[in-house]
Amino acid sequence: MILLVALVLLISLLSAHSLDVKAPKFTVSLDSPPQERWTEPVSYMIDTYGFDHSFKNVLDYVDSLIPEPLLLKLEPVFLKVMDSFPDEYATEIKGIWNAIDGKGYGDRITVGQLAAINLMYELTVFCTSVLAEDPDGNIYHGRNLDYGISGLQNLTAQIDFTSGGSVLYTGTEFVGYVGLLTGMKPSAFSFSVDQREMIDQHKNNHKGWEAFKGVIENIISGVEGGKPVGMFLRKLAEEGSDFSNALEVVSKENLIAPVYIMLAGTASGEAAVVTRNRLHPDDQVGEGVWPVDVTNGAWFRAETNYDHWVDVPDTDNRRGPVNQCMIELGFENVGLEGIYDCLSTPPVLCDGTVYTTLMQPKEGSFETTIRNQE
């Protein structure tokens, strides 16, 4: 008997190191005033993890990029940049600050810092996205979101954005951020964004001058009218009608940063990796839009953080392993489960992986798993 108890204890201890849990789910009603929309998720994060284990993790990261005295001087600049955000989202950000303040932490963070955080996430998202089609023409979309900041697990949530009582779109969010890096409009399309590697952040460990320069470039681009990618994608989720409409919109908008945008739809052939520079798809080799193409044997596409037409650096090869895993899984067997397994295999799953989201727009299925939870 004692032996059995000890065995059970041992097993639970052994499995405790990789606690993968489903993300907490919230509903954000788009019918409610923007300043009130995020109160519940913000309160949940602070109540559950404490300010120091949730929002402070991100603030520490901002501090590591921008020295504190400079950060305070930049406050008016960040507020100015916020003027360039769509009014609705700027008001949501103020509402998030109010909710933090309501929990007694208003003196620990400023509205300008929250605005800066909203520009920064899209800068350093190391990710792996997989698009696939099975023999019946079903389309699958999976993604890992990897991040250099530790502690984002404690801000991760799955949000249903509702309108008139029904779900308009769903996304995986870091509470505090109002854009969408991973989202789906049921019966229409899904999307994920991966950073397009332009600066050597691995060498710089996501820190230092290069990353700071990236923030400044983003700010300048923001002031010049480039759209923050996450906010752009959230608008797309709200207004886009279907895959081909989404592909068209994604191909022409002026964005704040170069990125990969993966889109999946509901019918055969409706899945593509779009390699974006700030103004449009990068067609230097004619593959700015890189679709799945079952008739030519390309039943899946995987994208990490490098143009698919160039080799990945030796120091960060997640592309080879994810491609290999998908090939072993096979066209006949592909599905969300198999994609999850491939996204869960190191080095595709890495220390920085915060969450894995699986999406199937046709079925309206969307599931976020938080990874590497301590």
Residue among 154, 190, 218, 304 that touches ligand NAG (CB under 6 A): 154
| Cα–chain center distance at 215 | 17
Q: Which of the ranges 26-34, 147-155, 195-203, 217-225 carries the binding residues for ligand NAG, by CB under 6 A?
A: 147-155
Residue among 151, 265, 291, 361 that touches ligand NAG (CB under 6 A): 151
Of residues 49 and 331, the one with the C-beta less far from ligand NAG: 49
Q: Is 153 in the site for ligand NAG (CB under 6 A)?
A: yes
Q: How many residues bind ligand NAG (CB under 6 A)?
A: 9
Catalytic residue among 127, 325, 342, 350: 127
Q: Hey, is 147 helix, strand or coil?
A: strand
Q: What is the DSSP string of 259-318?
A: EEEEEE-SSTT-EEEEEB-SSSB--TTS-SEEE-BGGGTB-EEEE-SS-TTSPPPGGG--
CB of residue 47 vs ligand NAG: minimum separation in angstroms?
10
Determine the number of helices (DSSP H) and then strands (DSSP E) in the chain.
Answer: 11, 14
CB of residue 95 vs ligand NAG: minimum separation in angstroms?
24
Q: Is 374 in the site for ligand NAG (CB under 6 A)?
A: yes
Binding mask 49-78 for ligand NAG (x = CB under 6 A): xx--x---x---------------------
Of residues 206 and 319, the one with the C-beta less far from ligand NAG: 206
Query: Do the strands 25-29 and 156-163 form a parallel or antiparallel pair, or are they unpaired?
Result: parallel
- Respond yes or no: is residue 342 known to be catalytic: no
Q: Which sign does the torsion angle of CA 103, 104, 108, 114 carry?
A: positive
| Region for 367 from its dihedrals, namely left if φ exceeds 0, alpha if ψ lies in -120 to 50, beta otherwise | beta
Joined together, the tokens standing for residue 312 give 């990945």
Q: Is 353 in the site for ligand NAG (CB under 6 A)?
A: no
Say which residues have a Cβ less than 8 Å from residue 24's Cβ, sequence separation at least 6: 44, 157, 158
CB of residue 235 vs ligand NAG: minimum separation in angstroms?
30
Window 33 to 52, contacts with ligand NAG (CB under 6 A): 49-50
Of residues 56 and 362, the one with the C-beta less far from ligand NAG: 56
Contact (CB, 8 A) for 59 and 113:
yes
Of residues 151 and 171, the one with the C-beta less far from ligand NAG: 151
Of residues 232 and 355, the one with the C-beta less far from ligand NAG: 355
Of residues 95 and 151, the one with the C-beta less far from ligand NAG: 151
CB of residue 151 vs ligand NAG: minimum separation in angstroms?
3
Euclidean distance between CA atoms 184 and 180, whole angstroms? 10
Q: Which sign does the torsion angle of CA 225, 231, 235, 241 carry?
A: positive
CB of residue 364 vs ligand NAG: minimum separation in angstroms?
30
CB of residue 50 vs ligand NAG: minimum separation in angstroms?
6
The type of residue at 52 is: D
CB of residue 18 vs ligand NAG: minimum separation in angstroms?
13
The type of residue at 40 is: E
C-alpha to C-alpha distances, 226 to 81, 208, 218, 276, 283, nearest whole angstrom: 11, 24, 8, 13, 20
In DSSP terms, 276 is beta-bridged to 281
Of residues 153 and 275, the one with the C-beta less far from ligand NAG: 153
Question: Annotated active-site positions, please?
Answer: 127
| Binding site residues, ligand NAG, CB under 6 A | 49-50, 53, 57, 150-151, 153-154, 374
